[in-house]
Amino acid sequence: MVKRKAEKQQSAAPMSAVAARKARQQQAQNSAPKNDVDIEIVTEPPSKRPRRSTEANETNGVSETETRGPRTRSSKKQDTSSPAETVKGRQKKDIQPPVSQAQEETNEAELSDERQNDVPEDMSEDEVASVAGDADGYESPADTSTELQNFPLSKARLNKNTILYADEGTLCVRVKERMNLALLGQYDIWIKRGVISLMGAKLHPSAHAYRVYAPSTHSLPVIKCVSGVDGEAEVELKSCNNGLARLRDISPLYQRVWNGQNTSADKATLKGVAKDSRRTFSVLYTSADDSLKRHLRPLHLDKKWSASMKALSQKQGQLRVLVCGPKASGKSTFSRYLLNHVLSPAPETENGYVNTDGVAFLDLDPGQPEFTPMGQVYLAHLKAPFFGPPFTHPSLDGSRDGQILRAHHIGATSPKEDPDHYAMAIMDLLDQYRSLLARYPQCPLIVNYPGWIFGQGLEVATWLIGCLGLSDVVYMSEKGPYEVVGPLSLAANEARVPMTILPSQPTEFVSRSSAQLRSMQIQSYFHQSHPAGLSNPLWSETPLSRTRPIAVNYAGDKQGISGIMVMGSQINPEMLREVIEGAIVAVVEIDSPNTLWGASSSAPVASGSDNHDELEADEDIDMESDQQNGQTAPSTEGLVVRTPERLPYLFAGSGSCTPLDPKSSNCLGLAIIRSVNTGSHKLELSTPIPSSVLSNTIEQGRSIVLVRGQLDNPNWAISEEYHSARAAERRYQQIISRLKKNGESAGGNNQADDQATQKQTLSLLRERIRRASNVPWMTVVEDNSRHQREVAARREKSLWKLRKKAYPGSESETEW
């Protein structure tokens, strides 16, 4: 009876074919079915397993059912909402700050200055303030529904023998060969002894320190010892405060990105310093060390990837490689690691070659560019490796590390919107690369092609293989499809170029969708600055609405803008103001009137002629007029249609704006048109482009054209003031709670004065929140109950808009 019962349980247990074969073999030998028990343990977790994800989600104000998701049939029956509805409901909670004072005090106890934890706001189920913008379907981080796992991150462990010295901002450690160390956060790394590998680069001892960004939105870079003195390498890690972490005060997308509370390794290295000391980075042994309980994974490259990078880098100055493949296959990661590998500052004694000419990086992916905001293709000349995702270097300042030689605004995140203009832009960038080779003959070329690999995208890719003079083609997918791999292989054979097929390496857990990463990158772009004398950029958490705009004349004797274009659609000139106000535009310089394609005698004639020889701004810009320099800016007379507000609408082509000719145009960057002042005929622009660049452009006889493409509206800029106001209130409540805890005074003569001052300050801060929430295209819901969510949803449906899904894998999420 006992044996029969055991056999019955064994047959009912799920197992694989291999396990079943082993079970039959053991059963024939009259042994106990131990393998069945092992299979049960592997396939199902123990009933008393601690639920770390549940505790973490309760801390973040997300209910267990929303985060854990359906795991069994019974839970699937209970969860009747669709994935899109679940994500929308989750986003409403993730983006919103709390309103109850008890929750505020709890949150303030966890937050400190810019070096404190990156902890999100606590949220309750009934009292959550929600912010909804125009198409806010991608304005908050996405949650994963899988259970957290204790995943190993570092092989090395810190102890008194491996820690050389440490203080509140610095940590110097030894790392043994074939051992690695994973860090989360921001830090400067200085190699003192030995050789380490980091994000594809091999770093040797030098006096130069490299800035590393390791956010939780991407797989963590791993510091690995390649070789060292006595089998050990010595590295110094130092905290850095550049303002990037403070962007969490103006956007929920930047919350839960950097390191949280001190880990066990941090506490071991912070002995003897202040109790509340925290660095901007944390050492993690496993993912369970993360206080915010996020899905953290180290980035270990596939062996085929590493072998391919090594083989490609051996071609040195003769390297011309095109990296292509389907979307989400790892093209950008491979290109970034290959770029760092080629730019590794190896000493001359290692292989007899020193890369002094840098690397040319031709980025043809307008949806996810590496060194510029979305909507552009460009050619960059880089001379140092970069360690971090794109939102940590959204622009280059032309320093010794790298510069953008030429860029063209495509006006969309996909080149399929205008393939002809895309191909012409590529041809011009190739001409720029040939000019670069005249100065740097040993400059390799890395081409990053978008995931637009079907249809016309395949035609463009095969055309590039035939005309680029490549040395290699890398395709990032072993699964084909054949209708893509076949033509690419044929084109490579005809061009006598070897083609390497590598396995794709997608990310297992995604905390931000592609649209969210684009939003983070462009927000980082507008808040970044490159102060003179600093090798690394800085970021400001001041909302754009509180920054000083640049005022540019669009009409009159001192006109600074030659024209305004709208790509991809035909609009009535009377609607131009509504189309451009509050929109993102490209600031493009043109060299000649031939830049405007479609110029003919049949083009509409301007209703008025204006000189455009000077740009005025609220900032002090020192410039001379073009007439004084003996230069004349390109004339757009005959193509400009003056709107009722006197806006210079470039109405070229057959009924719509034809794109600018790439041969005589260059994109300087992006700007947001904050307002159109019809009384003074000025445009107020918010842009990170230095004023000196705009002044030099006009001094050299070029004209400036603003191009409105099909990029998403800057909804993040609308809600910045609201989130900033909430953050200011939280910080003040934190100060009050800290003073009460320490029994200190806020500066008044007595307790009554302190309370009166605190009450008045809180009233002013909450009035700021109220004003910030009363803006167009944004809805604040103080009560997050189901009824209020339905009311807000009905209100939003009354507006004409295009909504986008925010969860990874959505059909509308395309990474072109």
84-129 pLDDT, tens per residue? 333 333 333 333 433 334 334 434 434 444 444 444 333 333 333 3
Q: What is the pLDDT of residues 531-553, one digit of tens each?
A: 888 889 999 999 999 999 999 99
Residues facing 139 on adjacent strands: none
Who has greater pLDDT, 29 or 593?
593
pLDDT grade for 22, boundaries at 50, 70 and 90: low
DSSP 8-state code for residue 603: S
Query: Please, what is the average pLDDT of the chain?
Result: 76
Which range has the worst mean pLDDT, 122-136, 162-176, 288-302, 336-350? 122-136
Token pair in block for residue 462: 């095969």
Who has greater pLDDT, 213 or 103?
213
pLDDT at 652: 56
- The reported pTM is 0.77
Who has greater pLDDT, 34 or 363?
363
For residue 295, is pLDDT > 80? yes
Give the C-alpha separation, 18 to 665, whole Å: 64
Pairing of strands 210-214, 376-382: unpaired
Give the C-alpha separation, 236 to 170, whole Å: 7
Give the C-alpha separation, 292 to 121, whole Å: 12
Give the C-alpha separation, 215 to 212, whole Å: 10
For residue 195, is pLDDT > 70? yes
Which of the given ranges, 41-50, 383-392, 497-506, has the highest pLDDT on average? 383-392
Which of the given ranges, 496-510, 576-590, 766-780, has the highest pLDDT on average? 576-590
Cβ-defined contacts of 736-742 (< 8 Å, 24+) = 737/105, 737/108, 737/109
For residue 453, is pLDDT > 60? yes
Q: What is the pLDDT of residues 469-479, one digit of tens each?
A: 899 999 998 88
Report which residue type is found at 708: R
pLDDT at 499: 94
Which of the given ranges, 373-377, 412-416, 798-802, has the highest pLDDT on average? 373-377
Q: Closest by alpha carbon to 232, among 181, 273, 290?
A: 181
Neighbour tally for 481: CB within 10 Å: 11
DSSP 8-state code for residue 622: -
pLDDT at 431: 94
pLDDT grade for 450, boundaries at 50, 70 and 90: very high
pLDDT at 691: 84
pLDDT at 238: 96
For residue 83, is pLDDT > 80? no
Summarize the confidence of residues 752-779 as an average pLDDT: 86
Give the C-alpha separation, 358 to 373, whole Å: 22
Q: Which helix or strand (DSSP H or E) is residue 816 part of?
A: none
Summarize the confidence of residues 693-718 as an average pLDDT: 88
Pairing of strands 359-363, 445-448: parallel
Q: What is the pLDDT of residues 219-259, one digit of tens each?
A: 999 999 998 888 899 999 999 999 999 999 999 999 999 99
Which range has the worst mean pLDDT, 36-45, 155-164, 672-681, 732-741? 36-45
* Domains along the sequence of the chain with CATH: 2-43 (no CATH), 50-87 (no CATH), 163-289 (2.60.120.1030), 303-521 (3.40.50.300), 546-708 (no CATH), 732-797 (no CATH)
Summarize the confidence of residues 515-535 as an average pLDDT: 91
Q: What is the pLDDT of residues 134-167, one digit of tens each?
A: 333 333 454 444 456 688 899 888 988 899 999 9
Which range has the worst mean pLDDT, 308-322, 343-357, 385-399, 770-784? 343-357
pLDDT at 656: 58
